[in-house]
Chain A
């Protein structure tokens, strides 16, 4: 078995669920080392170790610089200096994509994206769903470079392995020249109260069928009544009704709750990719031809402006 590098991400000293999912898969495939860009590598070392990372290679503080160029340059330099990872796994996040893109150029090595499964079959084979998940394409690298894999969220179950804290080692970032020019001056958090969208047991999402931004309140109310989280289709995020952090789909969050309730969402491929892994799907839509009904366990052909108020009233009367 070779060494697998896993791009670790963390907020406020807590490792991202996406990273824990990657670690669970990586330790099946080889010896795991986490690669981290941030000042608090020593803080997250215990959690990374508990999920199977033997080491965490950490850049330290980037002084406002973006992760992508710094981490890609640091990894490329480590590889030039003799490190030989068999594969590099990154989550499909903003920083994961930036890092993978820059690293691919630095190593002149291809990337396989949108991976939902990774198997060792005399070389790593990545599975990528296309056409909104109706077809799976399995791909293998033929170069002798490390395989770079961008993994979709919720592809693997995060599970601790009971390992001890990862050993922290410094990962040097070389001079980035012009590529390090972008700097973060402020960070803003927009997440709503209640359970997190990608961790909630119940997700209620709204789409264009709501008609206007004010009607989104019904989605929030229903989510609250069911102890769940509120989500949205890309259409209403683009329209500015709700922030991007609410978006479910290819370009947003991937959710796999026990129950997903789609309200006024027709079911564009973009959206279905992000929610079709839900255990149970309930859909309310006026259009009997809406694609969402093809994957719904219970479909209500009806007007969300009638069904939702009646549902909210019935729930509050209980």
Chain B
């Protein structure tokens, strides 16, 4: 079985960066890392393939960034397709889906895995867009995935609980964080990752119209970037055995008790 995993390389969430008021895009002058949300998809792919098949990463990133891809390759993925092109600056969710879908077609997988949403942009729409572009069925928000008899069975999160869903292959599945426990790359894995193939392609290589991506393709204007009204903090005290009394007093004041 061949599994493609969509992975995003993002600024370290511990240091989320800021908007560049000039370009109206995220400042990306820092080294990018593998989005932790995507480590679950990589792990899931490795477990489903279980040594009998292939795991291919697909990513779109500025400046030919491979740092996050190397992490996923070190976990055990076999190869990667990286789309990097100056024409992609300002690309929105739909443009991203067009790019990733075109890259995925080059790999021709049986199954496509993605996170439900990225940690930095969290639109949560790209996986379903990819499925639609490729005319594939999909199951989003999977918290358990099994492959059998040419299909997948998935426990899909719902607002109230979960649904059991079955879906024939080929298809796309988006997985929630916590679906599996991602492995740490071994030293051997890290060394091996350095020589694994990364196919670097541009927008033209994918046969995409440059007008369909980037700022032009997004067909939206950012009319303002403003600081949100800040929420001030109140009193912070050290518990000296009386912390619970302070809470009780506060709840009484609020007439909760």
Q: Which of A45-53, A160-168, A291-299 lies at the interface with chain B? A: A291-299
Chain A contact residue count (CB 8 A cutoff) = 100
Query: Digit string of A80-101 for contact with B (CB within 8 Å is 1, else 0)?
Result: 0000000000001110011011
Which 8 residue pairs are nearest across A and B when measured between Cβ atoms?
A302-B239, A101-B128, A238-B178, A181-B137, A299-B236, A190-B161, A297-B234, A182-B167
The answer, yes or no, to whether B208 is at the interface (CB within 8 Å) is no
Give the Cβ gap from A76 to chain B, nearest Cβ, in Å: 10
Q: Which residues of A have CB within 8 Å of B177?
A: 234, 238, 251
B residues adjacent to A (C-beta < 8 A): 13, 16, 18-19, 92-94, 97, 116-117, 119, 122-129, 131-133, 135-141, 143, 156-168, 171, 176-178, 218-228, 230-231, 233-239, 241, 243-248, 250-251, 254, 256-257
Is B132 in contact with A102, judged by CB distance below 8 angstroms?
yes
The residue on A at minimum CB distance from B13 is A269
Is A111 in contact with B123, judged by CB distance below 8 angstroms?
yes
The answer, yes or no, to whether A39 is at the interface (CB within 8 Å) is no
Known: A97-B128, A259-B256; 16 extra A-B contacts, CB below 8 A, are A69-B137, A92-B124, A105-B129, A105-B133, A108-B94, A111-B123, A113-B125, A131-B18, A137-B19, A139-B223, A179-B132, A182-B165, A182-B167, A299-B233, A306-B241, A306-B243
Q: Which residues of A have CB within 8 Å of B139?
A: 66, 182
Is A94 in contact with B140, judged by CB distance below 8 angstroms?
yes
Is B236 in contact with A178, judged by CB distance below 8 angstroms?
no
Q: Which residues of B have CB within 8 Å of A301?
A: 236-239
Q: Which of A23-31, A54-62, A207-215, A308-316 lies at the interface with chain B? A: A308-316
Query: Interface residues of B: mostly helix, strand, loop or mixed?
Result: mixed
The answer, yes or no, to whether A130 is at the interface (CB within 8 Å) is yes
Give the Cβ gap from A22 to chain B, nearest Cβ, in Å: 15
